[in-house]
Each structure stands twice: as structure tokens, then as C-alpha cells.
Amino acid sequence: GENVEQHPSTLSVQEGDSAVIKCTYSDSASNYFPWYKQELGKGPQLIIDIRSNVGEKKDQRIAVTLNKTAKHFSLHITETQPEDSAVYFCAAGNSGGGADGLTFGKGTHLIIQP
Amino acid sequence: ETGVTQTPRHLVMGMTNKKSLKCEQHLGHNAMYWYKQSAKKPLELMFVYNFKEQTENNSVPSRFSPECPNSSHLFLHLHTLQPEDSALYLCASSQVSGSNEQYFGPGTRLTVT
């Protein structure tokens, strides 16, 4: 089965700086890679995703890159703000139609220092 | 709000109790999922329903019994649980055709005493 590794487990950055979270996956059949943000007391919220037919996707201050050959993908947050503080999860799965569960990383606790 | 609601939000139950968790999605999706989130562990997939039919049981103990009466509602029936079953139980939904974008509810915080 799929295995997703996520690093670091905790990341502290100064407000305004950039944050990068990295994930690797094991199953070359995976073709869908979403990122979720989870705030205290809430469920995970989908913030961005990427499919294996593209190498990069950007949405305002967040971007995701994918290297299929190396089986790793990363989340980049620029100009970090206090409201970016949360736990971020990467996941891997399939997007070819059908209902498929996602395999998640262990999460990164992002702390934005004022 | 993601369009996925879960009740109750918090539940404390003894090991001999029977209780049920409820999930409802208002997104018009046709696939629903149960995940378990324990401290310091990744979210673990438990069950998958595709058009009300269970398509995946991720080796979950029989003390957890899912039910999906229609595409909008999903239940998780609990009985004779163990303290290690204490966790946040998350429901998600997605549209079967096309992408696998899954939208999560807020979860039910379960404590087994």
C-alpha cells in the first residue's frame, strides 16, 4: 500500500518569511496530491491540490510542486501571516474517478512568530 | 463551513455502551468516508462508501459498524469499544466522477472510559 512521509513535524518561521513542507510517497500509481490545513477544533480543510500531469500549481500565497520521478511533493507558503499557524497535512491518492481513500502524512505544525 | 456536518461533536462513552456517530453532507456528493485521527499518528482511512455501497474496509475491528442509508448520510455505530479507540473521528465526502477532492466535517471527539 501507499506510504506518505512528511517533514518537518514542527516548523517555526517569522511572520513574512516563507515556509516549506515536504512529503514523499511510495506508490508510483498515486496521481493526486492534496494539502490540508487543520486548525484547532476543526476538521482538515483542503487548501490546494496537484495532479501528476503538472509539476507546479499556485494559488495566491501558496504553491505546490511535484516531482514524479523522485516521488516527492512540497507545499510553499510565502509572506506568512499569523492566520497561517495550523497543522498542515499532505496526502496521496488517485483521481481517476471512483471513490478512493487518501493516505496522509503525519502532519506539520506550522508556527508563525510575530 | 465545508458542507459536511457531524454530530455529536463530543462523546464520552463507557466500554459497554452502544453509541452512533452521524455525518451528513450537503454538497451533492456520492462518496463518503470515515477516517480516524489519533494523537501523533496520520489520519487513518476506515471505510469508503461509493453510491451507498461499501467499497473499502481498511481492516477495521468489528466493534465499528458503518451504515450508509443514502448518499447524503453516513453513520458509525460503536459498541464495546476500548480506551485506545479514543480519537477524533472524521467524515469526508467527494464526487465519484472526476477528481478525488475530499471535504471533511469537523469531527466527533470520542473518549472511551
* pLDDT tens profile B42-53: 899 999 998 888
pLDDT at residue A9, rounded to an integer: 96
- As a whole number, mean pLDDT of residues B1-23 equals 94
The pLDDT, as a whole number, for residue B55 is 85
Does the structure show a pLDDT above 80 at B98? no
Residue B24 banded pLDDT, cuts 50, 70, 90: very high
Q: For the ranges A53-57, A90-94, B17-21, B76-80, which has the lowest average pLDDT?
A: A53-57
The mean per-residue pLDDT over the stretch A12-19 comes to 98
* A21 within 8 A of A74, measured Cβ to Cβ: yes
Report the alpha-carbon distance of residue A64 to residue A86 in Å, rounded: 17
- By Cβ distance, the residue of A97, A100, A106 closest to B98 is A97
> Which residues face A76 on adjacent strands?
A20, A63
Residue of A4, A32, A104 with shortest CB distance to B100: A32
Contact B45, A101 (CB under 8 A): yes
Rounded to the nearest 10°, the torsion over CA A22, A28, A31, A35 is -20
Mean per-residue pLDDT, A10-19: 98
Specify the 3-state DSSP secondary structure of A84. helix
Closest-CA distance, A46 to chain B, in angstroms, reads 7
CB contacts, 8 Å: B58 with chain A: 101
Strands A108-113 and A10-14: parallel
CA–CA dist A5, A22 (Å, integer): 8
Higher-confidence residue of A99 and A101: namely A101
What is the pLDDT at residue B51?
85
User: What is the residue-averaged pLDDT of chain A?
Assistant: 95
Q: Which residues of A touch B31 (CB under 8 A)?
A: 99
Hey, are the CB atoms on A102 and B100 less than 8 Å from each other? yes
Residues across chain A: 114
Of A34, A43, A106, nearest to B42 by CB-CB distance is: A106
Q: What is the pLDDT of residue B57?
A: 85
Is the pLDDT assigned to residue A96 strictly greater than 80? no
**Mean pLDDT on A23-42:** 95
Residues of chain B with C-beta less than 8 angstroms from the C-beta of A36: 104
Candidate from A1-5, A81-85, B96-100 with smallest mean pLDDT: B96-100
Chain A environment of B6 (Cβ under 8 Å):
43
State the pLDDT at residue B100: 83
What is the mean pLDDT of the segment spanning B66-82? 95
